Amino acid sequence: MKKLICTILALGFVGLILYSGYQLWLIQADYKEEADLHSAVMEYRPQEKDDEPINQSVIDLLTNYPDAIGWLTVPNTKIDYPFVQGKDNDYYLRRDINGGYALAGTLFLDYRCEKDFTSRNTIIYGHHMKNGSMLGTLKGFTDKDFFDSNTHGYIYLPHDTLTLEFFAYLVIDPATEKEIYNPMPSGDFLDYVKQNARHYRAVSLTGDDRLVTLSTCAYEFDNARMVLLARAA
């Protein structure tokens, strides 16, 4: 009986090792798939030094991927991706830009926001992947020195290029701080941000200023989100 129990335990242990190895293989396969797709769409990547008002590569991107909206780049991070907009905020959580299953999903615009970034607050979501892909390197802004020295990002649209002026980094609970995810935030929005930001850079916002919010998961507490706020010009 003792020998039988030992045999069962040994088989169970081997099975656990095999299952864990298989799960690790799946994760690595998903990472490779995301990297391969990213490399494939890099041919559409806008040229930052291009002074033309038309981003032809983004126009081509939209032609080949109907849900695509534009391209987001944050220097000194791995954030250099196209982003899309679905009919809701669930569709692209686990789908690539082609609509096929992908663990990393795709960066996507909040379905309530205007595609031309005329909403008062335009939100872009993406996963925090452990290999640093998607919006994973947004965590770099946790460091005050990094926040202070990395002040700008860029959004390339078919007929416009927006410069993002980063001014606040927060870690929040979206269930209780829904104002951050409101395309039309209230008048006391900036006061709230000043009081709750981990890092803040003084900025004077007017009613005509457009905001952009980059959002991904954080792991400091259950359901935590890290957000980077910017003024778009």
Q: Over the stretch 21-45, which tens digit does the pLDDT of each residue have?
A: 434 434 455 556 666 666 667 777 7
- 101 vs 53: CA distance, rounded Å: 35
Instruction: Give the model confidence (pLDDT) of 165-222 as tens digits.
Output: 999 999 999 888 888 999 998 878 888 899 999 999 988 887 788 999 999 999 889 9
pTM of the model: 0.83
163-199 core/surface letters (b: 16 or more CB in 10 A; e: else): ebbbbbbbbbeeeeeeebbbbebeeebbeebeeebeb
- Annotate 202-219 with DSSP letters as a single string: -----TT-EEEEEEEE--
Instruction: Give the model confidence (pLDDT) of 141-156 as tens digits.
Output: 999 999 999 999 999 9
Residue type (1 letter), 191: D
Domains and CATH numbers, the chain: 44-232 (2.40.260.10)
Tokens of 5: 């129990």
Residues across the chain = 233
- 213 vs 172: CA distance, rounded Å: 13
